[in-house]
Structure 1
Amino acid sequence: MEKIWNFKPTPATVEEQATVQTLEKELTVNQAMATMLWQRGIHSFDEAKHFFRPSLSDLHDPFLMKDMEIAVNRLLLAIEKNEKIVIFGDYDVDGTTAVALFYGYLFEHYQNIAYYNPDRYKEGYGISTMGIDWAAAEGATLMISLDCGIKSIDKIAYAKEKHGIEFIICDHHEPGDELPDAVAVLDPKRTDCPYPFKELTGNGVGFKLLTAFCLKKGIALDGLFQYLDLAMVSIASDIVPIVGENRILAYHGLKKINENPRIGLKALKQVSGFMGEMTIENVVFVLGPRINAAGRIKHAKAAVELLLSDNLEEAIEFAYAIQEHNTQRRELDASITEQALAMIQNDPWIFSEAKSTVLFNEGWHKGVIGIVASRCIENYYRPTVIFTLSKENEAAGSARSVPGFDLYKAIEACSQHLIQFGGHMHAAGMTIAVENIEAFRRAFDEQVVKNTNEEILTPKINVDLDLPISEISPKFYRILKQMAPFGPHNMQPVFVSKNLTLASDPRILKEKHLKLEILDETTGAVLSAIGFGIAEKYYSGLKNGDNFSMAYSIEENTFRDKTTLQLFIRDIKFE
């Protein structure tokens, strides 16, 4: 599928160009670097300082969040009265890291607590009756939910009426028109919440509650900051914007995981075989799937136990068990993705007429349908929902979107066909009666047709700058690297270079990867470039000697203890 190269705006007015020139001078960087900072809304030396050196002192006052004062006072009352507190977290990476962070830190100050993660298959997403009954049996009078609860109106009413259990909700998903009857509902996405940063993870909201707890008790925050590696893993894995508070938390969390990781994360790194310094991308592809695998294949409790472990030998044993789960997940993922792609190809309506993909197979593994939805989008670039049977006559669905299409609003517009749903603009989950899937499929496609166009449904590469190859140098990369951590709203810079020349014939590695040596005709230097899984698409044109332009990012490659710059190929266009 041909990709659109979207070039970001560059300074056009005299004032904008003057700002870039000032940044060049004050930061002693070249024009390309100053322009990229300007593109990211950094227009002064002071803003650049905060960007390059995120400070924990710049985190917002937690009491700016609606209901925070009420939540902290209820937590302190529970501690004063020695009430049993149960921490309830979702089964994904955000939920399990949130439980590990909240339980792990609070246990240092108060021991009459327990934690609970629901079973993905027996209980499903969110607060469950089974979890509430378990908490009641444990003698709990207060439950704190993390990464879930904003729509659990019936469950929270059940807890209060049946067991006398009160709730503090820490969530970051979109609320409905009605909020649950909890003691406090912490969610920056509440329409009445004045908190200045709206994109915290569920883990992040829990972190803010603990910050408020520390401030109320006069406890130094240093101990809580030791859990920032867990906050960072949730930020990376939940694919939230890495700006504002998320950037600060991710920056310091990455620093901790690279310098002094907690034992559970150290064990996961070791078992995965990962070497070197971790980036956000490494966390997404190395740590996140392994933590998720516990909840997908077995039970999320195993992930929390690993993250709370203080024994390396024990942690490595846990990590190996999760590694096995992750291997099973990858096998299921590959098999089900193959089946899903075949269904698309064999369904004339989905393949040629529909603007969305909605598939159902009662035998698919519920734990991987979200991953399969993402895989389908990689092949057929359009909003996708994958359903599988969850219990008799009822299906669970996982949905993923493409940039520019609000998935949550589309699903909300089709909610008459659903039993329940939740999520945000880019990803969502739902349950549905099996007999309603076809009606939902048609209604969902109508929403996609209504709210998209050909451009939205065409894959894009957002390009920062048109950059001559000659400007790429070790110094340029050193400064570029300091723009990390990269992620949504602060993506790794992508460049385009035109009229490129190869220094030697292109090579194919492992029958599918492409390796190039690109000649810098200005200096005579040669830069290596690699692209994964793209050899079939581009090799012939390159072999023929056709002129080409290339979209790429810049990385380091270490081989035999020697580190060099390498271009990571995003796309190639022949001229």
Structure 2
Amino acid sequence: MPHHPVKKTIIRRPTAHTSTPLADLPPLLGRIYSARKLDDPKQLDRSLNQLPPPWLLTGMEAMAERLARAIARQESLLVVADYDADGATACAVAVRGLKALGLERVSYLVPNRFEYGYGLTPEIVALAAPRRPDILLTVDNGISALEGAEAAQAQGMELLITDHHTPGAELPAAAAIVNPNLPGDAFPSRCLAGVGVMFYVLMALRQRLRETGHFTRSGRPEPNLAQLLDLVALGTVADVVPLDHVNRILIHQGLRRIGSGQASPGILALLEVAGRKPKQITAADLGFSVGPRLNAAGRLDDMSLGIECLLTDHPTTALDMAARLDRMNKERRELEDQMKQEALAYLDALDVPLGDKAAICLYDAAWHQGVIGLVASRVKDLANRPVVVFASAGDDLAKGSVRSIPGIHIRDLLSDINTQNPGLIRQFGGHAMAAGLSLGLEDLPRFMALFEQEAGRRLDRADLEHAVHSDGSLEPHELDLAMAEQLRQAGPWGHGFPEPLFDGEFEIAQRRVLGDKHLKLVLRPVGGGREIDAIAFGLADPGAWLDCRTLRAAYRLDVNEFRDHRIAQLRIEYMESGDD
């Protein structure tokens, strides 16, 4: 038997039973919002006028002043981007937005992850130097670029940093830094993605330009920055940041633009190759269909293709680029499947039960650097442990991607290891739930032991229990299309604001295997009710369920559309036989 667990416990989320300001909502929605600690009706308002002002962000005054001066002088600005979907969308927002506001000489540079690694390094500054920009503007990176900032200063480039990653004890030398996670920052959200930070910079800059009469003097029309919200929504969802009120507004507004056909040609093309219709688009579609295709460029090759897809205004060009990204994504999936199976084989070969380990550390010299983060995420979901997966990066260097579980801030863990063991980690950075690092191959065994030790010190057994958190049961009459549509419109759902998940017991009326990993079912609630379609994706052995008569399932009430026919469907996230 494999060491990795499959049995989970379905735990129902607690809800407040006292009257709340949400009492006027349908009872089910009130219950769901209450379980997510949302008790202020204002948090249900997803209009743009509910966004907090940009000036609450530390450094915004200096940032807006410097960019306004750059427009007045028509200076040259080079955007230094990151190679993931957040970085790509932030780059596209920066280039499109700054040009719309009047800065004509704007270009970008995105590091190739395999040649230069992450962020504004001295090597990237050297790559930028021949272009002779007056300003380097980082998006989704830069907060830890101490050496890169020094190199930029030596080259006579002024540095502006927009980022959202957790800062270290020392900040880079820059003319302005905007990051909601700076110590003492007054902005009410710490959860903005890199693209959200850049969008806020543009809002502040537009206001400053309006106040100084720029649009009147230049005769340039004041741009509608809401036209960029499709990009903001995509990057925010793809970066899996918590969906607090600010992020829910940004995503909701972006989804509205996409649904009305007002998205950029690149996003519309990515939706087309993914087989998704803009009118029915959800946050989950951005996260699971569009984001991976955009990310494929940065994982396997060069994110420039993804950025160009987001920057082009020509639908035919965008569709050609999206098709290339789709082919890359297919290759990425094949690599990921292979590496995941190899990772699981390593778990099966452990000399101690997985239940005795507080964390999992895996390394294979043949693994692909661009895919290790996805493998770490898959293993983390399966084992419910913090996971770090390493690949060889050449020159006796290992690069790792880390994924965590609730209860452990993974960047803080890496920071503590780094403080207590100077020189062990060459470079690291990230968030509470995801991080990256590099170290020497010879130091891998030592790091792995320290990683598991530190994880064990922070976690208790309750953190490691395999749990599925449910919003309770649905009555048979609630299992219909109207309720599914209502739940879809009540989002956007995502990390930190999870899509409603329910549990119940069902009789199996029909079942059949789709492909070799999926199970199509027709279910009937135990105790009576109408039959409803259901589907379970990605099963290890779907055929094992063909003789099952009843089951208990944790499921999402979804909308299935086929040839313009829409029906309610249960999307099963976890199930166990009820025959025992």
TM-score using structure 1 length: 0.92
- Tell me how far 1:4 sits from its aligned partner: 2.0
Whether 2:259 is the aligned partner of 1:263: answer: no
Choose the corresponding residue for 2:178, options 178, 182, 186.
186
1:424 matched residue in structure 2 = 431
1:493 matched residue in structure 2 = 500
1:406 matched residue in structure 2 = 409
- Tell me how far 1:233 sits from its aligned partner: 0.7
Query: In 1, are the aligned partners of 2:56 and 2:187 still within 8 Å (CA)?
Result: yes
1:451 matched residue in structure 2 = 458
- Between stretches 148-157 and 323-332, larger displacement belongs to 323-332
Please state whether the residue corresponding to 1:274 is helix, strand or coil: coil
Whether 2:42 is the aligned partner of 1:36: answer: no
1:71 matched residue in structure 2 = 63
Query: In 1, are the aligned partners of 2:136 and 2:157 still within 8 Å (CA)?
Result: yes
Whether 2:5 is the aligned partner of 1:3: answer: no
Distance 2:274 2:479 in 1: 32
Change in Cα spacing, 1:560 to 1:216, as seen in structure 2 (3 Å) is closer
Deviations 1:486-521 (A, max 9, x none): 1022211111224x334x244333344233322257
Deviations 1:439-475 (A, max 9, x none): 0000000011111133322332111123222333333
- Between stretches 368-377 and 344-353, larger displacement belongs to 344-353
Instruction: Report the AA paired with residue 86 of structure 1.
Output: L
Please state whether the residue corresponding to 2:135 is helix, strand or coil: strand
Whether 2:123 is the aligned partner of 1:119: answer: no
Deviations 1:125-158 (A, max 9, x none): 0112232123332121211101111111111012
Please state whether the residue corresponding to 2:124 is helix, strand or coil: helix
Change in Cα spacing, 1:480 to 1:323, as seen in structure 2 (3 Å) is closer
- Tell me how far 1:281 sits from its aligned partner: 1.2
- Tell me how far 1:266 sits from its aligned partner: 1.4
Query: In 1, are the aligned partners of 2:385 and 2:404 still within 8 Å (CA)?
Result: yes
2:311 matched residue in structure 1 = 308
Whether 2:123 is the aligned partner of 1:130: answer: yes
Distance 2:413 2:222 in 1: 41
Whether 2:257 is the aligned partner of 1:252: answer: no
1:477 matched residue in structure 2 = 484
- Tell me how far 1:325 sits from its aligned partner: 1.9
Deviations 1:302-360 (A, max 9, x none): 11111100111211222222222222222221222222222232342585753222122
Distance 2:425 2:106 in 1: 36
- Tell me how far 1:566 sits from its aligned partner: 0.9
Distance 1:496 1:325 in 2: 37
Deviations 1:56-78 (A, max 9, x none): 01111111111110111111222
Change in Cα spacing, 1:479 to 1:270, as seen in structure 2 (3 Å) is closer
Distance 2:253 2:84 in 1: 22
Deviation beyond 6 Å, 4+ runs, structure 1: none
Please state whether the residue corresponding to 2:242 is helix, strand or coil: coil
1:468 matched residue in structure 2 = 475
Whether 2:282 is the aligned partner of 1:290: answer: no
2:513 matched residue in structure 1 = 508
Distance 2:94 2:258 in 1: 18
Please state whether the residue corresponding to 2:243 is helix, strand or coil: coil
Please state whether the residue corresponding to 1:104 is helix, strand or coil: helix
Please state whether the residue corresponding to 1:299 is helix, strand or coil: coil
Change in Cα spacing, 1:154 to 1:11, as seen in structure 2 (3 Å) is same
Distance 2:343 2:465 in 1: 20
Distance 2:105 2:515 in 1: 55
Please state whether the residue corresponding to 2:389 is helix, strand or coil: strand
1:236 matched residue in structure 2 = 237
- Tell me how far 1:227 sits from its aligned partner: 0.6
Instruction: Report the AA paired with residue 36 of structure 1.
Output: I
- Tell me how far 1:297 sits from its aligned partner: 1.6
1:96 matched residue in structure 2 = 88
- Tell me how far 1:526 sits from its aligned partner: 1.4
Aligned pair count? 557
Whether 2:207 is the aligned partner of 1:215: answer: yes
Change in Cα spacing, 1:427 to 1:350, as seen in structure 2 (3 Å) is farther
- Tell me how far 1:249 sits from its aligned partner: 0.5
Please state whether the residue corresponding to 1:465 is helix, strand or coil: coil
Query: In 1, are the aligned partners of 2:227 and 2:263 still within 8 Å (CA)?
Result: no
Distance 1:151 1:291 in 2: 25
2:449 matched residue in structure 1 = 442
Instruction: Report the AA paired with residue 238 of structure 1.
Output: D
Deviations 1:507-555 (A, max 9, x none): 3333442333222577642112221234847955x83545x43221101
2:386 matched residue in structure 1 = 383
Change in Cα spacing, 1:522 to 1:347, as seen in structure 2 (3 Å) is closer
Change in Cα spacing, 1:428 to 1:535, as seen in structure 2 (3 Å) is closer
Change in Cα spacing, 1:350 to 1:360, as seen in structure 2 (3 Å) is farther
Please state whether the residue corresponding to 1:239 is helix, strand or coil: coil
Instruction: Report the AA paired with residue 264 of structure 1.
Output: G
Query: In 2, are the aligned partners of 1:538 and 1:572 still within 8 Å (CA)?
Result: no
Change in Cα spacing, 1:42 to 1:289, as seen in structure 2 (3 Å) is closer
Distance 1:288 1:329 in 2: 13
- Tell me how far 1:245 sits from its aligned partner: 1.1
Distance 1:350 1:79 in 2: 61
Deviations 1:204-261 (A, max 9, x none): 1111111100010116876211011110111110001122111011001111122222
2:136 matched residue in structure 1 = 143
1:274 matched residue in structure 2 = 276
2:537 matched residue in structure 1 = 532
Please state whether the residue corresponding to 1:110 is helix, strand or coil: coil
Query: In 2, are the aligned partners of 1:462 and 1:494 still within 8 Å (CA)?
Result: yes
Please state whether the residue corresponding to 1:386 is helix, strand or coil: strand
Whether 2:366 is the aligned partner of 1:363: answer: yes
Change in Cα spacing, 1:133 to 1:291, as seen in structure 2 (3 Å) is same
Deviations 1:244-294 (A, max 9, x none): 111011001111122222111112222233346221111112111111111
1:374 matched residue in structure 2 = 377
Instruction: Report the AA paired with residue 273 of structure 1.
Output: G
Unmatched 5+ stretches in structure 2: 1-5, 216-220
Distance 1:334 1:537 in 2: 17
Query: In 2, are the aligned partners of 1:147 and 1:170 still within 8 Å (CA)?
Result: yes
Query: In 1, are the aligned partners of 2:136 and 2:158 still within 8 Å (CA)?
Result: yes
Whether 2:48 is the aligned partner of 1:56: answer: yes
Please state whether the residue corresponding to 1:448 is helix, strand or coil: helix
Please state whether the residue corresponding to 1:391 is helix, strand or coil: coil
Distance 2:377 2:37 in 1: 30
Distance 1:320 1:458 in 2: 41
- Tell me how far 1:404 sits from its aligned partner: 2.3
Unmatched 5+ stretches in structure 1: none
Change in Cα spacing, 1:524 to 1:139, as seen in structure 2 (3 Å) is closer
Please state whether the residue corresponding to 2:338 is helix, strand or coil: helix
